[in-house]
């Protein structure tokens, strides 16, 4: 199973304000920047509970019929009509193994703590970060502490007329580094 991150951040590296709000991100995602094409390539979404609770405040359910796995020990609230949501608990390797066993080929991993735990576990294959031209000063960082360097291979960077700058990276696996 491949796991990818597609996330927007402030220029100073925050994915949300301290209270979890996303009000600094462009309304409706702003101009087209590849999210729809990316989302069409995934067959499951893995989110943490805080991100899920934020998504539940949106006017519309953003995931359509794509299965959403919420990592949480707490019961889930009532779900929007048509939402396919499951709560799971466990460490990222066990979650990834379960999803792979179910036939998931490409998972979209979202949410600060969830992204950080999947990165630390070596389970992220691709990272796409879209930087919004705003400094918010403090908030929830995209990346937290890691046990060692996580080497990335730059794939591309592109800018958009509205000021968004997007960079895509592949995670270099330990075996790839040894071969060099």
Which pLDDT belongs to residue 30? Answer: 66
The residue to which tokens 């409706």 are assigned: 28
Instruction: Show the domain range for 90.
Output: 2-179
Which pLDDT belongs to residue 130? Answer: 95
Which pLDDT belongs to residue 178? Answer: 46
Give the SS3 label for residue 127.
strand
What is the secondary structure of 24-49 as a DSSP string? TSPGGGSS--SHHHHHHT-SEEEEEH
Contact 78, 142 (CB under 8 A): no
Instruction: Specify the pairing of strand 165-171 against strand 126-132.
Output: antiparallel
> Which sign does the torsion angle of CA 91, 95, 96, 98 carry?
positive
Give how many domains the chain has, as a whole number.
Answer: 1
Dihedral, CA of residue 85, residue 60, residue 135 and residue 122, to nearest 10:
20
Phi-psi region of 113 (alpha: psi -120 to 50; beta: other; left: phi over 0): alpha
Contact 139, 15 (CB under 8 A): yes
Joined together, the tokens standing for residue 124 give: 């992220």
Regions in the chain scoring below 50 on pLDDT: 177-180
Contact 47, 112 (CB under 8 A): no
Q: Give the pLDDT confidence of 26-42 residue by residue, as tens digits.
A: 875 667 788 899 999 99
CATH assignment of the domain containing 22: 3.40.430.10
Element (H, E) at 54: helix 49-55
Which pLDDT belongs to residue 77? Answer: 94
Which pLDDT belongs to residue 175? Answer: 53
């Amino acid at each position: 199973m491949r796991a990818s991150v597609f996330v927007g951040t402030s220029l100073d590296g925050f994915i949300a304000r301290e209270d979890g709000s996303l009000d600094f991100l462009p309304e409706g995602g702003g101009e087209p920047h590849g999210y729809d094409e990316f989302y069409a390539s995934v067959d499951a979404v893995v989110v943490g509970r805080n991100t899920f609770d934020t998504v539940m405040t949106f006017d519309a359910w953003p995931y359509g019929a794509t299965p959403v796995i919420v990592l949480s020990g707490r019961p889930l609230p009532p779900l929007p009509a048509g939402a396919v949501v499951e709560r799971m608990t466990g460490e990222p390797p066990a979650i990834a193994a379960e999803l792979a066993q179910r036939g998931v080929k490409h998972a979209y991993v979202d949410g600060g703590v969830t992204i950080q735990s999947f990165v630390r576990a070596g389970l992220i294959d691709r990272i796409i970060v879209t930087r919004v031209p705003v400094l918010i000063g403090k908030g929830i960082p995209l990346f937290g502490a890691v046990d060692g360097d996580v080497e990335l291979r730059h794939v591309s960077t592109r800018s958009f007329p509205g000021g968004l700058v997007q960079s895509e990276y592949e995670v270099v696996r330990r075996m790839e580094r040894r071969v060099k």
